[in-house]
Each structure stands twice: as C-alpha cells, then as structure tokens.
Amino acid sequence: MEYRIEKDSMGEIKVPADKLWGAQTQRSYENFRIGEEKIPYELVKVFGILKKAAAAVNREIGVLDSERADAIMAACDELLAGKLDGNFPLAVWQTGSGTQFNMNINEVLAKRANQLVVSRGLELFIHPNDHVNKSQSSNDIFPTSLHVVGILMLQERLLPALRTLRMTFEQKADDFKDIIKIGRTHLMDATPLTLGQEVSGWAAMLARDEAMLSSGMEFLRDLAIGGTAVGTGINSHPRFAVMAAEEISRLTGERFISAPNKFQSMTSKAEIAMVHGILKALAADLMKIANDIRWLASGPRCGIGEITIPENEPGSSIMPAKVNPTQSEALTMVVAQVLGNDTTIAFAASQGNFQLNVFMPVIAYNVVQSIRLMADTMKSFNEHCAVGIMPNRDKIAYNLQRSLILVTGLVPLVGYDQAARIAKHAAKDGITLREAALESGLVTEEEYEQYMDPARLVKPRE
C-alpha cells in the first residue's frame, strides 16, 4: 500500500495515499481498533448536510469567502451523492463527543474541496478546522446530527412502514368484521368477539404509536448548532445558530429551529432518549401483535389454527411439510434488540459531566440501528405475513361452539352462580351448554336463543 505524509498539531503520520482523510482520522483509526461497529452511514450523510448548511451560512454572514464556501459545498454534494464513500472508517468506540468522526468529515471534505479548487485554477487552501468546521464544534454538531438523523429516518423510513402495516390491519379488520370467534384472556377461553375486532386492536395500537411518535419527535426539531464548545457560541457569529437551523430546514425539507438554550441542548440527551422510548413502546406492541398472530396460526391442526399465514419457506431440515411463523420470529428478535438498545441509550443519556454528554457515538449507533431495524422488519412483516393472513372459518366455528365461556351470555338472565352451575354441568356430563341450560329448568329454549346468540355477545347488550 502506498502512503502519503499528513501533519496535524501532534506531528506527522502516514495516511493511505488513496484515501481523502487526514492525520486526525488516521490517529483515531489506529488508536481505536475496537469491535466492528462503525459510525452509521446515515450519520455520514447527515454530517454532509450540516457542513453544507454551515458553509452556506458562513458565506452569507461574510466570515467565509465564496470560493472556499462553494468548494466545501460542492464536496458536500459529492458526499451526499455517495461519491466519497470509503473514506469514513471510524469506530463507534472512540471519544464520547464524536470529535474524531467530526474531524474525519472535516478532513475528507477539506481534501476534496482543495482538489476542486485546484481543478478550477484557484490558489487558496481550505483547512478542515478553520474553514469546514468554521462556527462549529464537535460538541454542538454531533448533538445536532442526532436530532436531524432521528427526524429524517423516522419520517423517511419508519413512519411509512408503520402506516403501511397499520393500513393492512385496518383492511383486515373490515374484511373479518362478521367472523365471530372465541376470545381469550390468560391464554384461556373468554367471551366471543369478531376476528375483525381482534385485528382492529392491532391497528389501533399502531395508530396510537404513530401519534405518540409524531408528537415526540417534535422535540428533536430543536438544534444545538451554534453553541460551539460549551454552549456560549464562542467563535461563531451571533446570527449563525438561527440561520444554520433555517438552512438545515431548507436542505432537508423538515422544520428545525435553533434550540433556545444551548447549554441544555448540548449536554442533555433527554429528547433522543424520549423518542427512543416511544420506539420501545412501539416495539412492545409489535411483540404483542407478532405473538398473537403466531398463536392464532399455531398448529395448524393441533394448535389454535384460527388463521393461516403465508407459507414462505420450509420450516424444518428434518420434518417435511413443516412451516413456521418466521416473520413473527424475525420481528420479535428485532424487538429484543431494540429493547436492549433502549437500555444502552437511557444509560448513555445519563452520562457526561458539566457541559457535555460523552456517550454520543453509542447513542447514535443504537438510535440509527433501532429505526433501521424497526422500519425494515415492519415492511417485511407486512409484505410476507400480514397481507396474507386469512381466517380458518371451520376451526373458528368449531372452537366457538366448544367453549363453555359462552355461558356468560346467560348471566343477565340467571345470575353468575347459576350460569356457573350450568357450565360445570355441561363440562362434567360432556353435553352442550344448550342441553345443560335447558336441563336446569332456569332457561327456556326461546330465552337461550335470545341470550346466547353469538352476534349479540360481541357488543354491549341493548
């Protein structure tokens, strides 16, 4: 491998000749050979947006000349287009402020901007700190990136997948609205409901999660940019913070504002922890839905078997014709990962001292992973499971008629105790509820038909 010599305040270091990064990136690359987890690519892209916004604002304010600003912005455009991929090698496990990652971005953009300047025949030098990082600090740009990447990934990836799955369940709820089945609580028989009502609960869970996410993510619109080192805004123009938020809004198409208190926005990670907490709530609902579906499809002959799910792949290497609820299994494994990520994020958000949180790279990694996994698994679950759910009407009718809990319908007529005696009589003698009720002498055939009509048991009594 060929190398070139780069310099920084600590001296000289060899850098691979085919890479655009500089000395500080190389030092981090060599000093933190920990694990395989890299700073997420989504964060690289967001930093490209932030650096472009900063260059544009610095030019407008008049603290950065147009030639340098234009070259930096052009380099940012190449980063956003994927043309600079392969130049962002740093581990998550680095400085807690993300300084080395910020410098990785600064160095790559400066190097590429200098190449663009030379190609244009201009004689000037673009410095990673003095120009690309102008009016910024790692301490405000990294917290800013957490909020921006959160908003963009939620809006572009997670919420569309969530809405699609919700709409699938809403359609299924309507399709199944007249199919009466036995309910279950504590995994035991309970009073009846329709399959549509059951599925409507899943749809409503997702609708409520969507509403909570949409509300919670509003807190991510406050940006720390402009606070620089400790929140005072040292070495930045007084108008930079507000203008940067406006430019980021313009570039992303999302509304962002300058955080009203930079001391809070730089040291606290409460907003991102709160939003991930809502993701945890969504994950909990998805776990519940996936488990309901695999229970209802279980068997199919020797289990509940009240619904069928798509048969996507063989389920066993030894048992022919076995098909498993693999989409539920994949989804619930994602949930397990997200719940673990939430614990990491909550702990990380509590750490740091005075003006800075020093767990930001691991927060970023886990937030991005959770949103990515949740979006992907909901899309997969919808396409390969939910849309193909169908009722097994024969099994639903069989289970409904066998349940003794239907006797609850007689309680308004004969009372709880007498209804219990009727059910126990039916169970002991192996007869139907109808036979046991009529034998009790407490119920006429006409009354039984009236009070035990399943269609009247799935709604409030009129």
308 Cβ neighbours under 8 A, 6+ residues apart = 297, 300, 389, 390, 391, 392
CA distances from 283 to 158, 293, 383, 385 (A): 12, 15, 18, 17
Rounded-to-integer distance, Cα 121 and Cα 116, Å: 9
440 catalytic? Reply is no
Q: Which residues of 120-132 are buried (b: 16+ CB within 10 A; e: fewer)?
A: eeeeeebebeebb
Nearest to 6, CA basis, from 105, 89, 21: 21
List % helix, strand, coil for the chain (3-state, nearest 5): 60, 10, 30
Encoded tokens for 123: 């004689």
DSSP state of 353: B
Catalytic residue selected from 127, 186, 258, 317:
186
C-alpha count within 13 angstroms, C-beta hemisphere, residue 308: 12
CA triple 415-424-448, angle to 5 deg: 50
DSSP state string for 12-65: EEEEETT----HHHHHHHHH---SS-B--HHHHHHHHHHHHHHHHHHHHHTSS-
Q: Retrieve residue 303's tokens.
A: 């289990």
Joined together, the tokens standing for residue 415 give 């009372």
Q: Whole-angstrom Cα distance, residue 279 to residue 288?
A: 14
Separation CA 286–CA 375 (nearest Å): 12
CA 13 distance to own-chain centroid: 40
Q: What does the alpha-carbon distance between residue 271 and residue 261 come to, in Å, rounded to a whole number?
A: 14
One-character DSSP codes across 100-160: HHHHHHHHHHHHHHHHHHHHTT------IIIIITTT--HHHHHHHHHHHHHHHHIIIIIHH
What are the distances in angstroms from CA 453 to CA 144, 183, 185, 222? 60, 15, 21, 57
Q: Per the residue annotation, which of 316, 370, 403, 425 is the catalytic one?
A: 316
Q: Are 15 and 121 in contact (CB under 8 A)?
A: no
Contact 159, 142 (CB under 8 A): no
215 catalytic? Reply is no
Active site residue ranges: 186, 316
